[in-house]
Chain A
Amino acid sequence: MSANIAALLYLVAGVLFIFALRGLSSPATSRQGNRYGMIGMAIAVATTLLTHFPSFGGLLMIVIGVAIGGGAGAFIAQRVPMTKMPELVAGFHALVGLAAVLVAAGAFFAPRAFGIGDANEIHAGSLVEMSLGAAIGAITFTGSIIAFLKLSERMTGKPILLPERHTINIMLGVALLALTALFVGTQSGVWLFLLIFASFALGVTLIIPIGGADMPVVVSMLNSYSGWAAAGIGFTLGNLALIITGALVGSSGAILSYIMCKGMNRSFISVILGGFGGEVAGPAGGKETRNVKQGSAEDAGYIMQNAGKIIIVPGYGMAVAQAQHALREMADMLKEEGVDIKYAIHPVAGRMPGHMNVLLAEANVPYDEVFELEDINSEFGQADVAFVIGANDVTNPAAKTDKTSAIYGMPILDVEKAKTVLFLKRGMGSGYAGVENELFFRSNTMMLFGDAKKTVESIVKSLAH
C-alpha cells in the first residue's frame, strides 16, 4: 500500500471520529455515531498493519496483546455499574496517558520503524514532539490515577495540601523544560526517562490538592490532556488519524472543563490551584441550633400525591445511595395519579459531566423528561414540589444573595420558588463548599433524613396504600 493511500485512509478514520462526536448531538443519532467511531478505529488499525507488516513474532505479540487488552476492556465495559462511571473514565484516561509514554519510548528505541531518523540521529523536531507526547502522557497517567483513587474513595476526597506546593509545581515545570532541552540536544535516553519521571511527579502534585467535588473539572481536564498527548505522538508519527483525534479530544476536554467551571462560577486557575473545600468543618456543634421541619415518608408521599407538578433535583447523594431505580418507581406511581414529573440537572451535579443523566437513563427515565438548568429554572415558580435528592450546594440561594459566601455567583436551581421543598439528606451536614443552606430552615421546607434509597422506597410503600 502506498504511503499516500495510507495517509488518505488515516484521514478517513479521522473524519469518522468527527462523525462519532457529531452523533452525540442527540440521543437518537448517538449510537450510529458510536459505530462510525468503531469503523474508524478498525480502518486505522488495518492500515497500520498493512503498511508496516510486522514480523511473525511481532504479529503474534500484537494478537496476544489485543486479546488480553480487548478481553479485559470488554469485561469491564459489561460489568461496571453506572455509578462508577467517573472512576472508569479516570482509569481509562490513565491508560491512554501511559500508552502515549510507552509509544514515545518505543519510537525512541526504534526510530527507523517510525520514520523519524536513525538511532542517535533522530530529527530534532521529532524529538521535541516525542518529549511533548511523553510528558503530557505521563502527567495524564499519574494525574488520572490520583483522580481515580479520589473518585473511588480509596483516597480521601479532601484536598491534600503539600507544603510549598506551588513552588514544587513551578520547579517541576522548569525541570520539564530543561530536561526536554537536554534530551533534544544530546539524544540520550537518560534525559527522556528523567523527563518522564518528572512528569509522573508533576501529575501527582497537580491533582492531589484538588477536592472531590471539583473532580468534574479534573476529569474533563485530564480528558483534554490525553488528547494533546495523542496529538504529540501523532506529530512524531506523522499520522493524520492521531493528529485529528488528538485535536478533537483535546478541545472536547477543554470545553467540558470550561462548562464545569462555569457551573461552579470558579475560574479554571482557582480549581487547578486546588485547596477549595478544605475547611469543611462539619456540622458545627457550638452554633445555636435552629429548628428544621422534619417529615416522614408518609408526609412526603401525601404532599406529592396531591401535587400537580413536581420537579426532581438529583445530586451526588442519589448516586452514592444508588437511589435512581427507586426514584423512577416513585415517579411512575405519581405519574399514574396524574402528577406532572420533570427532572432538573445542574451542570456540576455528580462527579463528572452528565453523570446524573446517565444514572437516570439507566433507571429508564425517558430523556425528554430530563432538563438542563437553563431550560427548567423558570418552571420552579409553577411547581408544587421540588424534590431534592442528594443535592445541596446547587440549590443554595446564598449563591445569589450572600456576597461573602464561598459559592456566591454560582448558577443555582431555584428550588426555593416551589410551593414545597423536600430535601432528602443523610444529615444536617453542609455540602462540599462548607456553606450552610438556609433553605433547610424555611417554613415551606421539609427535611427527610436518612439514606436516600431507603427514604424513596418508604415513600413508594406509602404511595401504594
Chain B
Amino acid sequence: MTDSTQQLLEKAQAAAEAARHLAEQAQHYSDELAHTAAAAAAHGLAGGAIDPFVFRVAIFAMAVFVGYYVVWSVTPALHTPLMSVTNAISSVIIVGALLAAGVEGMSAAEASGSWWANAFGFIAVILASVNIFGGFLVTERMLSMYKKKG
C-alpha cells in the first residue's frame, strides 16, 4: 500500500516537473513571438507592413466584382462586340511583352537569358498587337452597324 502511494507521489512529481518544463518553453515561445511582433510593428511604422501582393489581391477581388456587375448590364444584343472588346483589352498583356522584348543583359551571365527573353518578347509583341488592333477595330466596325429605326 505504502509502496504504491510512494509510486503515485513520484509520478505526480514527474508530471509536475514536465508541466513546469512545458510552461517554461511556452514562456520562451511567447517571448519570442512578442519580440517578432514588436519587430513587425516597428517594421510597419517604417512603411513596409503589408506585402504589395495583398493589395494586388484586393484590387483583383474588387475588379472581379466590378466585372460581374458591369457585364450583367451589357445588353445581350452586344454580346459579340463584348467578346471582341474583352479580347482586345486582355491584350494589355503586351506590357509584359514590351518588358521582355526591350530587356538588355547587364552581364555575360545574363546575356543568353536576355536573348531568349527578347525573342519571346518579340513574338509576344506581334501576337498582342494583332489582337489589340484587330480586336478594337473589328469591335468598332461591328458597333457602327447597330442603328436605330429610321
Binding site for B on A (CB under 8 A): 13-14, 17-18, 20-22, 24-28, 30-31, 33-34, 37-38, 40-41, 44-45, 47-49, 52-55, 58-59, 61-62, 64-66, 68-74, 76-78, 80, 82, 85, 88-89, 92-93, 95-96, 98-100, 102-103, 105-107, 109-110, 112-114, 119, 125, 219-220, 223, 226-227, 229-231, 233-253, 255-256, 259, 345, 347, 352-355, 357-358, 361-362, 364, 366-370, 372
Interface residues in B73-106 (C-beta closer than 8 Å to A): 73-104, 106
Contact status of A357 and B79, CB under 8 A, knowing A20-B89, A251-B68: yes
Whether the Cβ atoms of B138 and A88 lie closer than 8 Å is yes
Contact status of A357 and B85, CB under 8 A, knowing A61-B118, A66-B125: no
Contact status of A37 and B120, CB under 8 A, knowing A74-B137, A100-B93, A250-B64: no
Whether the Cβ atoms of B133 and A77 lie closer than 8 Å is yes
Q: How far is the CA of A92 from the CA of B100 in the complex (A)?
A: 21
Contact status of A367 and B117, CB under 8 A, knowing A77-B137, A226-B87, A245-B92: no
Which of chain A's residues have a CB closer than 8 A to the CB of B101? 54, 58, 61-62, 65, 106
Contact status of A119 and B78, CB under 8 A, knowing A54-B98, A248-B67: no
Interface residues in B54-81 (C-beta closer than 8 Å to A): 56, 59-61, 63-64, 66-68, 70-81
One of A92, A109, A240, A367 near B114 (C-beta < 8 A): A109
One of A25, A68, A107, A366 near B100 (C-beta < 8 A): A107
Interface of B is mostly: helix
Q: How far is the CA of A357 from the CA of B94 in the complex (A)?
A: 31
Whether the Cβ atoms of B77 and A247 lie closer than 8 Å is no
Closest to B106 in A: A112
Whether the Cβ atoms of B134 and A354 lie closer than 8 Å is no
A-B contacts counted at CB < 8 A amount to 401
Which of chain A's residues have a CB closer than 8 A to the CB of B99? 48, 52, 106-107, 110, 113-114, 237
A–B complex contacts, Cβ < 8 Å, 17 sampled = A21-B82, A24-B85, A30-B146, A48-B95, A48-B99, A58-B118, A69-B129, A77-B133, A92-B87, A103-B97, A110-B116, A125-B53, A238-B52, A248-B66, A256-B71, A352-B79, A361-B142
One of B86, B120, B135 near A109 (C-beta < 8 A): B120
Closest to B84 in A: A89
Whether the Cβ atoms of A73 and B135 lie closer than 8 Å is yes
Q: Cβ of B44 < 8 Å from any Cβ of A?
A: no
Taking the closest CB of chain A, its distance from the CB of B25, in whole angstroms, is 31
